[in-house]
Amino acid sequence: MEPFTEKVIGIIKSIPAGKVMTYGQIAYAAGSPRGARQVVRILHSMSKKYNLPWHRVVNYRGELSIKDKETLQHQKTALVIEGIRISRNNIISLKDYQHQTFT
């Protein structure tokens, strides 16, 4: 496994319940500030294998950006269970819910 991939997996696993991180934030913390798309690929291909809390990752605006309606609903439900409020436009307040890493 590539070091970047390993770091991304560790960062995603460390996001606590009730918090979210952005794709870009994860990429930056893993050492590749421009690697947000790679984070998307890692989530897509490795979430099940590594039991990643994929639902806690959002885009840079705090939006839930999943296109598949069933998967989007699953993400929303999981986040609401964790106490996260989601607007009608599927946006989460990063000010209130963004997990901060110190790298």
Q: What is the pLDDT of residues 58-92, one digit of tens each?
A: 999 999 989 999 999 999 999 999 999 999 999 99
Position 101 pLDDT exceeds 80: no
Tokens of 54: 């994929």
3-state secondary structure of 98: strand
Q: How many CB atoms lie within 10 A of CB 23?
A: 21
Per-residue confidence (pLDDT) for residue 90, from 0 to 100: 96
Q: Which residue has the tokens 């106490």?
A: 83
Q: Are β-strands 57-58 and 21-22 bridged in parallel, bridged antiparallel, or unpaired?
A: parallel
Domains of the chain in start order, with CATH, are 3-97 (1.10.10.10)
4-18 mean pLDDT: 97
Q: What are phi and psi of 39, to 5 degrees?
A: -60, -40
31-59 mean pLDDT: 96
